[in-house]
């Protein structure tokens, strides 16, 4: 079998949502600068013309072969699609799509400046498309190709990014998620060190209210999205300790590994991180240094199914669970169904992001009563739904 086409399909659809879709953004590292701190916008939102529905535009990768079988991945951001279209596509055409490990290694070795960031995200997407293709070719879900199923049902934690942090509304949602069966939920404070004591006070007030709302049996996590400094983090872990959080995520920028390790040594609350780290080589120092209690590679960013499996193996030798960041729920579900529970215990489900990221799928992968039933459909188990596509164009970027 040979790869005959590498298509980048840009599709546009209409996303109907009553009211304001994004209610609150999270704290960002840039918030140390007042002009950024004052900016309420979320950067990655779909276009909206006035008060009407959102125009959703997304790019999907489709790898076609001379045997008629294809592989799908996405949605992808434009910078990632550009890397595929200009730099990686020529290295795929004419090659064997089933030799996935070789494809990955050739792409990796061809991109010596691309070990992290958009290039590795592009390699990740190609890897996921190739696993999807192989699943369709074998008429088997990816988790079976990986030696699974180890599990047919995966517990899901709800991520509330984008929802209001006003105490009344946040606690109402927290109770609702508990009633829907989620056994864990993650929240994203809007405040950070630039807000001083007031930022910490509001964070404590939010998590105290959430703990009161859900009781002791629901796990609560806090995602700082790389926005804290040392003094703020140290005060936060001490003051939040009585609320028994399940973890604090990404307190620092990912290059501040020594700060992670130092905080973990002092924190009564487990520390999580790695959502913005890449590949087995990127994660090894996190493990060797003892920087975190939980590692969180994203399959669509850190190197795809092939590489995240290797990261999981590395983490398991250190006894550190891998709980992937949830950019692609379909890919995460396939990988985690092939791993034992202690190696990769939870699927992250970003409630609002998944409405966007799975919008164009015919059968989005969604939790029921706090778990995802692992789909048995071939490959990653998702297909684009033509009924949701208003317009489509092909991105060429031929060089
Ligand atoms: Mg996160």
> Using 50, 70 and 90 to split pLDDT, how confident is the model at 2?
very high
Residues spanned by the domain of 348: 144-373
Rounded to an integer, the average pLDDT of 327-356 is 97
Return the pLDDT at 49.
63
Tokens at 239, concatenated: 């003051």
pLDDT of 44 higher than 80: no
Residue 113 lies in a domain: no
Calculate how far, in angstroms, residue 72's C-alpha sits from the geometric centre of ligand 1.
25
Q: Where are the beta strands (DSSP E) in the chain?
A: 3-15, 47-48, 54-65, 70-76, 153-159, 184-187, 219-223, 247-249, 271-273, 294-295, 347-350, 371-373, 391-394
Instruction: Tell me if 319 is assigned to some domain.
Output: yes
Q: Which of 234, 296, 297, 314 is nearest to 268 (CA)?
A: 234
Catalytic (active-site) positions:
325
Instruction: Flag whether pLDDT at 50 surpasses 70.
Output: no
Percent of the chain residues topping a pLDDT of 90: 93
Dihedral sign for Cα 284, 285, 291, 297, please: negative
In which region does residue 4 sit, left (phi positive, over 0), alpha (psi from -120 to 50) or beta (all else)?
alpha
**Count of domains for the chain:** 1
Ligand 1 mean position to 327 CA, how many Å? 10
Tell me, in angstroms, the distance from the centre of ligand 1 to residue 290's CA: 19
The answer to whether residue 20 is domain-embedded is no
Contacts of 50-56 spanning 24+ positions with Cβ under 8 A: 53/14, 53/15, 53/16, 53/17, 54/14, 54/15, 54/16, 54/17, 54/21, 55/12, 55/13, 55/14, 55/15, 56/12, 56/13, 56/14, 56/15, 56/356, 56/359, 56/360
> Quick one: average pLDDT of 353-364?
96
Whether the pLDDT of residue 399 is over 90: the answer is no
Average pLDDT over every residue of 324-353: 98
Of 87, 173, 141, which is closest to residue 330 (Cα–Cα)? 141
Instruction: Give the pair of three-digit tokens for residue 114.
Output: 């691309």
Evaluated on CA atoms 116, 322, 324, 380, the torsion sign reads positive
Q: Which pLDDT score, from 0 to 100, does residue 378 have?
A: 98
Find the 324 Cα to ligand 1 centroid distance in Å.
10
pLDDT of res. 28:
96
CA of 121 to the centre of ligand 1 (A): 17
Cα separation, 252 vs 263, in Å, equals: 10
The answer to whether residue 313 sits within a structural domain is yes
CATH code: domain of residue 157? 3.20.20.120
> Does the residue 135 lie in any domain?
no
Q: What is the pLDDT of residue 51?
A: 65
Least confident of 35-49, 249-263, 273-287: 35-49
Q: Which of 39-48, 140-149, 254-263 has the lowest mean pLDDT?
A: 39-48
Query: What's the gap in Å between 283 CA and the centre of ligand 1?
Result: 16
In the chain, the N- to C-terminal Cα span, in Å, equals 25
Paired strand residues for 73: 61
**What phi-psi label fits residue 50: left (phi over 0), alpha (psi between -120 and 50 degrees) or beta?**
left
**What pTM was estimated for this model as a whole?**
0.97
Judge whether 10 and 33 are in contact, CB under 8 Å.
Answer: no
Report the pLDDT averaged over residues 67-80.
97
Q: What would the pLDDT profile of 78-114 be if each residue is shown by its tens digit?
A: 999 999 999 999 999 999 999 999 999 999 999 999 9
Task: Give me the pLDDT at residue 220, please.
Answer: 98
In a domain, 54, yes or no: no
Q: Could you tell me if residue 192 is inside a domain?
A: yes
CA of 63 to the centre of ligand 1 (A): 30
Phi/psi of residue 246, each to 5°?
-75, -40
Residue 222: what are its φ and ψ, rounded to 5°?
Answer: -120, 130
pLDDT tens sequence across 162-216: 999 999 999 999 999 999 999 999 999 999 999 999 999 999 999 999 999 999 9
**Does a structural domain hold residue 76?**
no
- Give pLDDT tens digits for 266-313: 999 999 999 999 999 999 999 999 999 999 999 999 999 999 999 999
Residue 333 has pLDDT above 80, yes or no: yes
With contact defined as beta carbons under 8 Å apart, do 199 and 232 qualify? yes
H runs (alpha helix) in 139-195: 142-145, 167-179
């Amino acid at each position: 079998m040979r790869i005959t086409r590498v298509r980048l399909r840009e599709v546009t659809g209409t996303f109907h949502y009553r009211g304001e879709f994004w209610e609150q953004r999270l704290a960002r590292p840039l918030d140390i600068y007042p002009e950024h701190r004052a900016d309420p916008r979320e950067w990655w939102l779909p276009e909206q013309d006035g008060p009407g529905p959102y125009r959703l535009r997304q790019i999907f990768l489709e790898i076609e072969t001379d045997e008629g079988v294809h592989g799908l991945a996405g949605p992808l951001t434009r910078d990632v699609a550009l890397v595929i279209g200009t730099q990686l596509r020529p290295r795929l055409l004419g090659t064997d799509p089933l030799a996935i490990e070789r494809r990955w290694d050739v792409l990796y070795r061809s991109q010596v400046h691309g070990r992290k960031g958009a290039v590795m995200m592009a390699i990740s997407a190609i890897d996921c498309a190739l696993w999807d293709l192989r699943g369709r070719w074998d008429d088997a879900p990816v988790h079976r190709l990986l030696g699974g199923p180890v599990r047919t049902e995966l517990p899901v934690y709800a991520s509330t990014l984008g929802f209001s942090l006003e105490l009344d509304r946040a606690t109402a949602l927290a109770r609702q998620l508990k009633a829907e069966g989620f056994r864990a939920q993650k929240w994203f404070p809007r405040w950070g060190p630039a807000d001083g004591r007031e930022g910490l006070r509001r964070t404590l007030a939010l998590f105290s209210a959430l703990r009161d709302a859900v009781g002791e049996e629901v796990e609560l996590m806090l995602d700082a999205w790389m926005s804290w400094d040392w003094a703020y983090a140290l005060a936060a872990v001490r003051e939040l300790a009585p609320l028994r959080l399940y973890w604090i995520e990404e307190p620092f920028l990912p290059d501040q590994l020594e700060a992670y390790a130092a905080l973990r040594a002092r924190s009564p609350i487990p520390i999580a991180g790695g959502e913005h780290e890449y590949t087995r080589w990127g994660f090894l120092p996190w493990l060797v240094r003892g920087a975190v209690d939980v590692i969180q590679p994203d399959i669509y960013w850190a190197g795809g199914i092939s590489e995240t499996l290797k990261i999981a193996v590395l983490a398991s030798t250190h006894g550190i669970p891998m709980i992937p960041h949830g950019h692609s729920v379909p890919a995460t579900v396939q990988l985690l169904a092939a791993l034992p529970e202690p190696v990769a215990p939870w699927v992250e489900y970003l409630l609002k992001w998944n409405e966007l990221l799975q919008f164009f799928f015919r059968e989005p992968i969604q939790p029921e009563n706090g778990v995802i039933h692992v789909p048995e459909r071939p490959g990653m188990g998702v297909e684009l739904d033509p009924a949701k596509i208003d317009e489509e164009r092909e991105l060429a970027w031929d060089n």
